[in-house]
């Protein structure tokens, strides 16, 4: 089927994070964050390995204590994707994180306070070519902005402007920006405004979006709307769930907009016409398809009403009959198989060709 989507990406500066470039029309990168104490090197490295296998391209770790910062070098030596240290107020931790070899800092310079300390961090980041992400969040806006604007898009953008001004004042431009809020329309408005005001790469996300289902929907709408408008260079889907789920959802958001080509399982919603367990088959196909190489479309259809049509547009397909199903390859019927062997036989056909 001919693709309808042709997104014109907004032009942003190129910012190097490890071996990756963010911005400047480069592929939109998927990020996540570990959810174990960073000082537990083994658990952190294991989680990052799972995230990397799932498709995470940049990983951030929280550094609330000195022990966490001291673990960064060991973690960095055991992983293959860029490592970002999340530092909030402690300038010493930022300096130490750079010494430990991190690839990026997430740090709001205004939160450090003392000008000399900010300058020391910025100078060191500059010397080591370490970019800084300014991450403004509706939950931690400056008091005067809250009083003047409330937690509005204008307040988020003004907060970012202040942090950017500090870095630019020190002749530092390796900047990435995020302005996250839990309110999806406000998040969209804030990023639109920021996209007009700044040409630094934007990291998109709906913060504290919720558990797996709600958080996925809220992020799909917030992040997806902006991506469709060409806004955004990197994304994180924040979920109260295993971080691997964040990566899976982020990939699906990018694939849904043709910003990335992956393995897509199309499945019908099933109805009273289906005489096979379409939902079970679709879940099984989706679970087994995670390690396949894309671009690839697999259709799982409950009956012959829409089944053959979708099957013809897919690389591989199953259409249901009475406790049986037809397997299609490249739109052509291959054979009829009993329901209980349908998924195995479908994957035999796929693996012959992958
Ligand atoms: S393909 Fe068949 S079973 Fe699936 S929703 Fe359509 S009519 Fe119902």
Residues 6+ apart with CB under 8 A from 279: 267, 270
Residue 53 and residue 55: Cα distance in Å, rounded? 5
3-class DSSP assignment, residue 244: helix
Closest to 19 (Cα-Cα) out of 129, 147, 106, 148: 129
Domain stop point among 235, 256, 277 = 256
Q: Which of 267, 305, 325 should be mutated for ligand 1, with most atoms under 8 A from CB?
A: 305
Give the CATH number, domain containing residue 286: 3.30.413.10
**Which atom of ligand 1 has the smallest separation from the CA of 268?**
4
The CA 273 to ligand 1 mean position distance, Å, reads: 6
Look at residue 5 and tell me if it is in a domain: no
Q: Are residues 88 and 127 in the same domain?
A: yes
The CA 54 to ligand 1 mean position distance, Å, reads: 31
Look at residue 325 and tell me if it is in a domain: yes
Residue 103 and residue 61: Cα distance in Å, rounded? 12
The pLDDT of residue 290 is 84
Residue 330: left if φ>0, alpha if ψ -120 to 50, beta else—which one? Answer: left
Rounded (5°) CA angle 261-192-215: 60
The CA 300 to ligand 1 mean position distance, Å, reads: 10
Mean pLDDT score across all residues of the chain: 95
Q: Are residues 225 and 154 in the same domain?
A: yes
Q: Are residues 56 and 158 in the same domain?
A: yes
Domain stop point among 256, 276, 296 = 256
Q: Would the pLDDT of 209 be above 70?
A: yes
SS3 content of the chain, % helix, strand, coil (to 5): 45, 20, 35
Contact yes or no for 54/244 (Cβ under 8 A)? yes
The residue segments making up the domain with residue 121 are 15-256
Q: Would the pLDDT of 294 be above 90?
A: no
pLDDT for 85-142, tens place per residue? 999 889 999 999 999 999 999 999 988 889 999 999 999 999 999 999 999 998 889 9
Look at residue 292 and tell me if it is in a domain: yes
The pLDDT of residue 117 is 95
Give the mean model confidence (pLDDT) for residues 278-287: 96
Q: Are residues 252 and 298 in the same domain?
A: no
Give strand pairing partners of 267: 300
The pLDDT of residue 140 is 84
Give the burial class of 26: count Cβ atoms within 10 A of its Cβ; 0-12 exposed, 13-18 middle, 19 or more buried.
Answer: middle
Q: Are residues 35 and 166 in the same domain?
A: yes
| Assessment of whether the complete model's pTM goes beyond 0.85 | yes
305 lines ligand 1 (CB under 6 A): yes
DSSP state of 202: B
The pLDDT of residue 295 is 92
Q: Are residues 246 and 288 in the same domain?
A: no
The CA 307 to ligand 1 mean position distance, Å, reads: 7
Cβ count within 10 A of residue 318: 28
- The gap from C-alpha 124 to its chain's centroid, in whole angstroms, comes to 29
238 lines ligand 1 (CB under 6 A): no
Give the mean model confidence (pLDDT) for residues 283-311: 90
Cβ count within 10 A of residue 98: 18
Domain stop point among 256, 285, 302 = 256
The CA 302 to ligand 1 mean position distance, Å, reads: 5
The pLDDT of residue 310 is 85
Look at residue 8 and tell me if it is in a domain: no
The CA 306 to ligand 1 mean position distance, Å, reads: 6
**What is the number of domains present in the chain?**
2
Q: Are residues 226 and 341 in the same domain?
A: no
**Which atom of ligand 1 has the smallest separation from the CA of 301?**
1
Q: What percent of the chain has pLDDT over 70?
A: 99
pLDDT for 220-253, tens place per residue? 999 999 999 999 999 999 999 999 999 999 999 9
């Amino acid at each position: 089927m001919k693709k309808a989507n042709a997104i014109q990406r907004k032009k942003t500066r190129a910012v190097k994070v490890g071996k990756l470039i963010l911005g400047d029309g480069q592929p939109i990168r998927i990020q996540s964050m570990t959810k174990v104490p960073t000082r537990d090197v083994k658990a952190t490295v294991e989680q990052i390995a799972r995230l990397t296998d799932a498709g995470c391209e940049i990983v951030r770790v929280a550094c609330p204590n000195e022990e966490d910062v001291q673990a960064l070098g060991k973690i960095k030596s055991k992983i293959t994707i860029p490592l970002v240290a999340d530092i909030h107020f402690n300038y010493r931790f930022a300096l130490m994180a750079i010494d430990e070899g991190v690839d990026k800092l997430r740090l709001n310079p205004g939160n450090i306070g003392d000008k000399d300390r900010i300058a020391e961090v910025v100078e060191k980041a500059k010397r080591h070519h370490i970019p800084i992400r300014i991450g403004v969040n509706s939950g931690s806006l400056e008091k005067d902005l809250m009083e003047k604007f409330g937690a509005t898009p204008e307040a988020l953008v003004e907060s970012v402007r202040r942090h950017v001004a500090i870095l630019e004042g020190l002749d530092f431009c390796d900047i990435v920006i995020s302005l996250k809020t839990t309110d999806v329309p406000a998040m969209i408005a804030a990023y639109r405004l920021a996209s007009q005001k700044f040409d630094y790469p934007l990291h998109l996300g709906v913060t504290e979006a919720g558990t797996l289902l709600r958080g996925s929907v809220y992020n799909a709408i917030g992040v997806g709307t902006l991506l469709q408008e060409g806004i955004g260079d990197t994304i994180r889907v924040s979920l109260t769930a295993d971080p691997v789920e964040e990566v899976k959802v982020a990939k699906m958001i990018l694939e849904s907009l043709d910003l990335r080509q992956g393995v897509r399982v199309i499945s019908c919603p099933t109805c009273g016409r289906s005489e096979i367990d379409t939902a079970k088959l679709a879940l099984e196909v989706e679970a087994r398809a995670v390690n396949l190489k894309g671009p690839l479309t697999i259709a799982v259809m409950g009956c012959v009403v829409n089944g053959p049509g979708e099957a013809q547009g897919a690389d591989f397909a199953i259409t249901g009959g009475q406790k049986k199903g037809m397997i299609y390859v490249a739109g052509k019927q291959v054979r009829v198989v009993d329901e209980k062997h349908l998924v195995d036989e479908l994957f035999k056909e796929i693996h012959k060709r992958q």
